[in-house]
Structure 1
Amino acid sequence: MNTNETDCLLDRSEVEQRFGIPKRFLELAATRGEGPKLVRIGRLVRYRVTDIRAWIEQNVSGQVT
């Protein structure tokens, strides 16, 4: 199989395992129109790896707490 890793579609459990973003956050963010871009395939919700990484980069804060 020659699938480009950045083209993979992940479900919420896979996003949580791979990026540490809780499934519940993804669910709530989707209902509010926030969070990473998502792909709807019928009733299924999936996330592209490239969209997750782009969303993380957009939310990097330069402030140290």
Structure 2
Amino acid sequence: MTGDGNLTDRRLLSPQELAEYTGVPLATIYRWNSKGSGPRRLRVGVHVRYRLSDVEAWLEAQESGQGRPAPTLMADVSANSGDGHAA
């Protein structure tokens, strides 16, 4: 990775951080997850995370009235997480 822009775009938010970032209750984030709405999410081991770039794209789509820009993909990236936890 080169430049700070790439690090910012690739930053992963927890559900709590997403709630704080968007100014909605944490329960809303969990509701979005259960309904398959909200920003695209991914799994890092057992944890749900959101790419900041996906959150920004989703927010822009909300502003323009287009809804969700892409379907939710639950990617499991735990195989090489290196945290010692099994997937």
TM-score range, shorter chain: 0.7 to 0.9
Confirm or deny that 1:30 pairs with 2:10.
no
Structure 1, unaligned runs of 5 or more: none
1:54 to 44, 53, 57: 57
Aligned residues: 61
2:5 corresponds to 1:16: no
| Structure 2 unaligned regions, length at least 5 | 66-87
Look at both structures and tell me which one has the larger radius of gyration over its CA atoms.
2
Q: Quick one: distance in 1 between partners of 2:55 and 2:43? A: 15
| Greater RCO, 1 or 2 (C-alpha within 8 Å, sep 6+) | 1
Identity, in percent, stands at: 33
Q: 2:76 corresponds to which residue? A: none
Q: Cα RMSD between the aligned structures?
A: 1.9
Q: What secondary structure, in the 3-state scheme, does the structure 1 residue paired with 2:38 have?
A: coil
Q: Distance in 1 between matches of 2:45 and 2:55?
A: 20
C-alpha spacing 1:52/1:21, structure 2 compared with 1 (3 Å): farther
TM-score normalised to structure 2 length: 0.60
